[in-house]
Amino acid sequence: MNVPLEVSPGVIAAGEVITFDGLSDGGEHLMVVFGDALSQRRPLVRLHSECLTGDVLGSRRCDCGPQLREAMLLMQDKGGLLLYLRQEGRGIGLYNKIDAYVLQDTGMDTFEANRALNFGDDQRTYAVAAQMLIALELREVDVLSNNPEKVRQLRAAGVRVHRQRLTEVHITEANRRYLTAKVEYAGHAISIDRAGG
């Protein structure tokens, strides 16, 4: 199904939305295809975990919305695959994420808040992303992400990642601590000191 998408104010791109049946977690994940990505030898892929607060409401506490828009703008120009994964709040769900926000207001970072709620640091899995790619016979990709775990899990599932392309650093005073925690706890490739904001 083709859907016109506003990837940036006033910039409209055609996106082909593909849904999947039989994924290992039973979730409703989808792929958005930009340009000729399905015929490219090594398409650019963005694995993006759902973030209602950042993607839809524009929360400044994370960098999810800006990363999503950056990926879509890049892909509408050069082609690419956006895998939108339904694993809100690092896999803990929307309501638990809001509870974690409350704990963050007391001084905890995002990882400490998850632990206080008896969750792991990051409960997401990218096995379904690999299943989605393999179902379309896409076994060689470049990945747009600062998160090394995405690359590691794709490779472990049999998808060859040739290159990890980093996103821009979308830093604000409201998300600086969040981004710093992602670097310290999860090894994300984010240059906090060189970023503006």
Q: Which one-letter amino acid corresponds to residue 54?
A: G
Measured CA distances, 173 to 15, 103, 170 (Å) = 33, 18, 10
Q: Which long-range contacts (CB under 8 A, 24 or more apart) does 137-140 make?
A: 138/38, 138/43, 138/45, 138/81, 140/41, 140/42
13, 111 Cβ separation under 8 angstroms: no
Is 122 part of the annotated catalytic residue set?
yes
Distance CA 129, CA 116 (A): 29
Find the catalytic residue in 36, 124, 139, 155: 124
Instruction: Name 8's bridge partners.
Output: 11
Find the catalytic residue in 121, 122, 142, 176: 122
Cα 178 to its chain centre, rounded Å, is 15
Instruction: Name 4's bridge partners.
Output: 14
Residues annotated catalytic, as ranges: 122, 124
